[in-house]
Chain A
Amino acid sequence: MTDVTTEPTARPGIFRRMGQAIVLPKTVSAFESSYLERMNRIALAFFYGHLPVFLLISWLNETDPLFTLMLTAAVLVIPTLGCRAFTGHRSKSLVFGFTAMCMGGILVHIGQGPVQIEMHFYFFSVLAMLALFANPMVILVAAVTVALHHLILWYLVPQSVFNYDAPIWVVLVHAGFVVLETFAACFIARNFFDNVIGLEKKVEERTVEIRKRNEDMRLVLDNVQQGLVTVSRDGKMASEHSKVLETWFGAYEAGDTFAGYMGNHDAAFGNWFGLCWDSLTDGFLPLEVALDQLPKTAAFDGRHFEFSYQPICDDAGELEKIMVVVSDVTSEVAQQRAEAMQREILSVFERILKDRSGFTEFFEEAQRLVDASEPAASHLDDVKRFVHTLKGNAALFGVDSVAQLCHEMEERIAEDDERGAAERYEALTGRWQELASTVQRMLGQDTVDSVTLSGDEYQDLLRRVVEEQPHVEIARRLVDLSLEPTDHRLERFAEQARALAERLEKGAIDVCVQANDVRLERERFAPFWSSFTHVLRNAIDHGLETPDDRVENGKPDSGRLELSSYEQDGEVVVELRDDGRGIDWDGVRAKAASLGLPCDTQDDLLAAMFSAGFSTREQATDTSGRGVGLNAVRVACEALGGRIETDSEAGRGTTFRFRFPSDVAKNADALSI
């Protein structure tokens, strides 16, 4: 163990401190130098001025003027030579300390007689005057000189010092006053030095300190990776800012506004910022509301920026300026997007594994829909329908980013925001292309053209051949088998329905599928199936009640959907039945009336319900409500020569039946082989 004792930093002793007070710091500032030079010159002239005065006193007092002349001249030699010999102004001043006291000695000597004591005032006056040299050492030299001088003379020629027989204690009293004055004069001289002569030095030190601080600040501003600038109430930017701001958005001049500065880069953002700033300063809205509305994100040239604002208020709480902090979040945004894309790709991959042909078909149709959805290229109603279908399909196949972009594009279209819609469309095509390149790799070669048979179907076919049934019969059966079994479709919808019901808080619903071995032509029915999604969504979103509501109405808590296909009276039927609340005919009637549609008969109401732009929902959600869905399914159904039957009973549920002529469904042309 070593004993570590830390020496307390002791305060210097009194003598040391007195020494530090008397001895000046070595450095002589330019100001001190010129001041002392001037003072030394004045002092020299002052002492030369003593010569005639002393002669006069000597003559008047009859104390040998000639001797006085010689003595004074001899003393004057000292500062004259001293001023030449020493180069330092402080050293020259010391010589004057000595000279002054010698002059005092002469004065007392030539002032013998009744004024001799008064002549001693000279010492006190001049000792005080020496403080003008701003150097305690000068006073000390003078004090020592006068002490020695008095001691020596008093010893040798007592009457030269006192014209009476002064005892030693008188001399000590006399000396005591000199010591007292010396202390005072030293104190004054040192303070004079520190606070007046040394002022320049202090300023210099402060300046260096401030410069250093500024340099530190600059260093921070030059290297910080955030754009920092303060903006005053009038919107103008302070000249101090972090360098990266210039790197991102270019330089600016004093007096530029932040809105103008950003506007040079992106006019729309600058415009918007300017408006937000106006509302910040016009005082109509509360500060926190206006602050909250300032734009928080922006993307310029593919880089993403985040803006945050720190209000700086004066003592009265009035907004003075705002500190704007800009961060480049491009990499974070890219990271988030990459992660989202990764998740999406994963879910797409799962879908492909589960239902390859279904996904392939979705993918091909989506590609067509993306192409057709360009706002400038098609009629706006068509664009709305395409985008809506694409949204539904994309959500069904787990491609949420595309569904989200479709939703945003629909919002813009609904607000007549052409520019916004075009921008969203651009984003949509961009996203789609990214996705398409990945998906195409996963899908590899197409499998849509393959024909899949179940074991039973194969056995049945084999039996027909073995039984030597007529060729036409067998051919008919073969054509039949080349069609797509509806059970794939219906199962897929069932799965979607369960997921959607979960999402819309309709609980775990029962979905029952009855495909009855119906097969339909894949290509021709694709548009119908993709619009069928809307009917399904409507059934869950509008038809089925929440489990609580169901229990309240005396129903089983889980809702039920039946998806079926069957052949009946030369028609192929696809049916969707729910046990929900039934169609709100009053709502349909009111809405039809408000849209100016006929609403007198049940057929009128059905027609209205399936017309473009019809929705009883006040607010569109990303699930349903834009009034596009049912219209889309009607258009698709009619294109296949089909018709829609609707049965609905309040509180019991709704059934939609899509009926297609068998020959259309089975593609009669294919039989003319």
Chain B
Amino acid sequence: MSKIIVVDDSATMRQQVKQALTPAGFDIVEAVDGRDGFNKVQADAAIDIMILDVNMPRMNGIELVEALNKEGRVQKGLKVVMLTTEGHAELIQRAKAAGAKGWMVKPFKPEMLLAAVQKMAV
């Protein structure tokens, strides 16, 4: 079973992601900002999916993906899903350039997030 890290400064959002994924048996790790996310991903090789917010204090989402890309984690199979609000095309483009393959629009539907993660976990 995949290990998933949720990086978001909003506890509510982390809670929502957890609620959507935990019942399906995923192991969820939480990080409260980009720096925290970076440290946790680097410390745990078992993490293979990262769901992250864009706007975060102490290293935003795009910087985080760029940093992990530089460390080679993305190349080693870390799948990245960006959570963003509708209409922010340039943010998604930057996130994709940094190595995020997928993105989802907030507010997401729990069943949609689960479907996305299940596809990635295969």
Contacts and interface: CB of A to CB of B under 8 A. Distances in A.
Contact of A286 (B11, B13, B116): B116
A285 B55 contact: no
Nearest to B93: A275
24 contacts: A272-B87, A272-B89, A275-B89, A275-B93, A282-B101, A284-B101, A284-B119, A285-B102, A285-B116, A286-B118, A286-B119, A288-B115, A289-B112, A289-B115, A292-B109, A292-B112, A293-B104, A295-B86, A415-B55, A415-B85, A417-B88, A420-B87, A619-B12, A619-B13
A275 B118 CA distance: 22
Contact of A289 (B12, B55, B116): B116
Nearest to A415: B55
A271 B90 CA distance: 9
B45 interface: no
Interface in B90-122: 92-93, 101-105, 109, 112, 115-116, 118-120
B75 interface: no
Nearest to B118: A286
Most chain A CB within 10 A, of B12, B85, B89, B115, is at B89
Nearest to B57: A594
B55 A416 contact: yes
A416 B89 CA distance: 15
B10 interface: yes
A295 B13 CA distance: 23
Interface string B1-39: 000000000111100000000000000000000000000
Contact of A268 (B12, B89, B101, B104): B89
Interface in A250-303: 268, 271-272, 274-275, 279, 282, 284-286, 288-289, 292-293, 295
Given A268-B87, A289-B115, A619-B11, 7 more contacts: A272-B86, A279-B103, A285-B119, A286-B118, A618-B11, A619-B10, A619-B13
B103 to A, nearest CB: 7
A271 B88 CA distance: 9
B112 A288 contact: yes
Interface residues of A, number: 21
A150 to B, nearest CB: 86
Contacts of B10: 618-619
Contacts of B87: 268, 272, 420
Interface string A381-424: 00000000000000000000000000000000001110010000
B91 to A, nearest CB: 10
A317 to B, nearest CB: 14
Contacts of A275: 89, 92-93
A282 B10 CA distance: 30
Contact of B89 (A271, A285, A286): A271
What 4 A-B pairs come out closest when comparing CB atoms?
Answer: A619-B12, A271-B89, A618-B11, A284-B101
Interface in A277-336: 279, 282, 284-286, 288-289, 292-293, 295
Contacts of A274: 89
Contacts of B101: 282, 284
Contacts of B119: 284-286
Contacts of A286: 115-116, 118-119
Nearest to B9: A618
Nearest to A411: B85
Nearest to B10: A618
A618 B30 CA distance: 15
- In the complex, which range does the number of interface residues on chain B fall in? 20 to 34
Contacts of A282: 101
A279 B11 CA distance: 28
A268 B93 CA distance: 13
Nearest to B55: A415
A417 B119 CA distance: 32
Nearest to A414: B55
Contacts of B120: 284
Interface in B68-93: 85-89, 92-93
Nearest to B119: A286
A274 B90 CA distance: 12
Interface string A419-456: 01000000000000000000000000000000000000
Contacts of B118: 286
Contacts of A618: 10-12
A235 to B, nearest CB: 15
A288 to B, nearest CB: 6
A272 B91 CA distance: 11
A293 B85 CA distance: 11
Contacts of A279: 102-103
B94 to A, nearest CB: 12
A78 B105 CA distance: 90
Contact of A284 (B88, B102, B105, B112): B102
A418 B13 CA distance: 23
A295 to B, nearest CB: 7
B116 A293 contact: no
B32 to A, nearest CB: 10
A414 to B, nearest CB: 8
A416 B60 CA distance: 13
Contacts of B11: 618-619
B57 to A, nearest CB: 9
Contacts of B12: 618-619
Contacts of A295: 86
Contacts of B102: 279, 284-285
B27 to A, nearest CB: 21
Nearest to A288: B115
A289 B102 CA distance: 11
Nearest to A291: B112
A279 B119 CA distance: 14
A416 B85 CA distance: 12
Nearest to A619: B12
B56 to A, nearest CB: 12
A363 B60 CA distance: 41
Contacts of B112: 288-289, 292
A450 to B, nearest CB: 48
A289 to B, nearest CB: 5
B4 to A, nearest CB: 15
Interface in A634-669: none
A71 to B, nearest CB: 92
Contacts of B86: 272, 295
B100 to A, nearest CB: 10
A122 B105 CA distance: 88
Nearest to A617: B12
A292 B103 CA distance: 12
A169 to B, nearest CB: 87
Nearest to A293: B105
A272 to B, nearest CB: 5
Contacts of A284: 101-102, 119-120
B50 to A, nearest CB: 14
A554 B9 CA distance: 35
Contacts of B89: 268, 271-272, 274-275
Nearest to A594: B57
A292 B108 CA distance: 10
A293 B109 CA distance: 10
Interface in A545-581: none
